[in-house]
Amino acid sequence: MGIRTVVAASAVLALAASTTACSSSASSSSGGGKVSLSYGVWDATQVPAMQKIIAAFEAQNPTITVTIQQTPWADYWTKLQAAASGGSAPDVFWMNGPNFQLYASNNVLEPLTDVHPDTSVYPPALAKLYQYKGVQYGLPKDFDTVGLWYNKAIFDAAGVAYPTAAWTWADFQAAAKKLTDPGKGVYGVGANLEGQENFYDTIYQAGGYVISPDGKKSGYADPASIAGLKFWTDLVAAKESPSLKQMTDTAPLNLFESGKLAMYWGGSWDAKAFAANDTTKTGVDVAPLPAGVKKATIIHGLANVVFAHTSHPAQAEKFAAFLGSQQAAQIEADTGTVIPAYNGTQQSWVKAYPQYHLQSFLDQLPDAVPYPISKDTAAWNTLETTELTKAWDGSEPVDKAAADLATQMDAALAKEGS
Rounded to 5°, angle at Cα 344 from 276 and 60: 95
Higher pLDDT, 114 or 358: 358
261 closest CA partner among 317, 318, 181, 320: 181
pLDDT digits 0-9 by tens, 277-331: 888 999 999 999 999 999 999 999 999 999 999 999 999 999 999 999 999 999 9
pLDDT digits 0-9 by tens, 157-194: 999 999 999 999 999 999 999 999 999 999 999 988 98
pLDDT digits 0-9 by tens, 5-33: 445 555 444 554 443 334 444 445 444 58
Nearby residues of 57 by Cβ (< 8 Å), 6 or more positions away: 64, 66, 319, 322, 323, 328
What is the model's pLDDT at position 290?
98
Rounded distance between C-alpha atoms, residue 157 and residue 179, angstroms: 9
What is the model's pLDDT at position 14?
54
Max CA separation in the chain (angstroms) = 74
Rounded distance between C-alpha atoms, residue 65 and residue 319, angstroms: 10
**Contact (Cβ atoms closer than 8 angstroms) between residue 306 and residue 316:** yes
Rounded distance between C-alpha atoms, residue 366 and residue 306, angstroms: 29
Strands 35-41 and 92-95: what pairing?
parallel
Rounded distance between C-alpha atoms, residue 121 and residue 345, angstroms: 10
